[in-house]
Amino acid sequence: MADRDFHYHDDFTVTDEMKSAWKEDGYILVRSILSPKEMSILRPALESDDGVRQHAYGLPDGEGLHSNMCIWNHPGNDITGMIFRSQKMVDTAEQLLGGEVYHYHTKLMMKEAHTGGRFVWHQDYGYWYNNGCLYPDMMSVFVAIDRCDRGNGCLQVLKGSHKLGRIDHGAVSGQTGANLERVNHAVNILSLVHVEMEPGDALFFHCNVLHKSEQNKSDRRRWAFVAAYNKATNNPVKEHHCPRYTPLYKVPNEAILTCGNKTDMAGKDFLDPTKDDTVRNPKRLKTK
């Protein structure tokens, strides 16, 4: 459990305390940023064979298990797009990063019961640096779809590790991970936090925060969103399959509940894993 977490409410705004936690720890945990009613609309859309899951693939963890995921570059107009275009998500990202942001990509991460694979220690900027992003003016937002706890492979972070700067990344157990010698030194001096979350909670974390997750050998699945925002002034200097600056059109928070589009994926631009050199040995999944 994170030691400095905050609770969403109707007049929620980023406070000085939140900014201090972001600066010192590298993250803030916002409880219930998605309401139970919003979650009740989101879940069936995600579970539909006609939605984002039709673009999923499996990623082996090097230890016999695998996690399933799908990635898209643009938010689109379906309910997942409304969530990451909503004022409560975008305004929080902009206040923490200190300026306009755009949607870099979103992942649906699916660790199924008994088979969900681990993810090795890494920084998101360990990947994004090579995509032409010159500055670490980027963040990820991890949103729990299911309860995430130690039993089903919750996210683990090293508190304050964003202050280490970017660590070199390379092949680790079939994935792309941070240099293990460097990581082992960091583990010895920084606090390890198991981020246990309820459905609808969101962890906003800096792109240089070291994080990992263990296998899910429980009888419960562990699904989550991970959305990435890039600061508009950090427009990548080269073409890449992840998008360069694209204006993000915010919507009112109410748009999540009123969105009638559950499965129209137009404009989302899903990743072809065979074109991403950080993805090794992907396996296409069948959802039907």
For residue 287, tell me if it sits in a domain.
Answer: no
Q: Is residue 288 part of a domain?
A: no
- Is residue 174 classed as helix, strand or coil in its secondary structure? coil
CATH code, domain carrying 258: 2.60.120.620
135 lies in some domain: yes
Retrieve residue 252's tokens.
């009112």
Question: Minimal CA–CA distance to 41: which of 89, 10, 79, 76?
Answer: 79
Whether the CB-CB separation of 103 and 84 falls below 8 Å is answered with yes
Tally the residues of the chain: 288
**Position 266 in a domain:** yes
Segment 206-217, tens digit of pLDDT: 999 999 999 999
Which residues are CB-contacts of 260 (< 8 A; sequence separation ≥ 6)? none
Average pLDDT over residues 107-133: 96
What is the residue type of 40? S
Q: Averaged over 42-60, what is the pLDDT? A: 91
Residue 23 in any domain: the answer is yes
Does 158 have pLDDT greater than 90?
yes
- In tens, the pLDDT along 186-212 reads 999 999 999 999 999 999 999 999 999
Is residue 162 domain-resident? yes
**Residue 190 forms part of a structural domain:** yes
Segment 273-288 mean pLDDT? 58
Query: In which domain, by residue range, is 185 found?
Result: 5-282
Mean pLDDT lowest for which of 76-80, 166-170, 221-225, 259-263?
259-263
Instruction: Name the domain count of the chain.
Output: 1
What pLDDT shows up at residue 191?
A: 97
Residue 19 covered by a domain = yes
Q: Tell me: pLDDT of 237 over 90.
A: yes
Mean pLDDT, the chain, whole residue set = 93
Provide the percentage of residues in the chain whose pLDDT is more than 90: 85
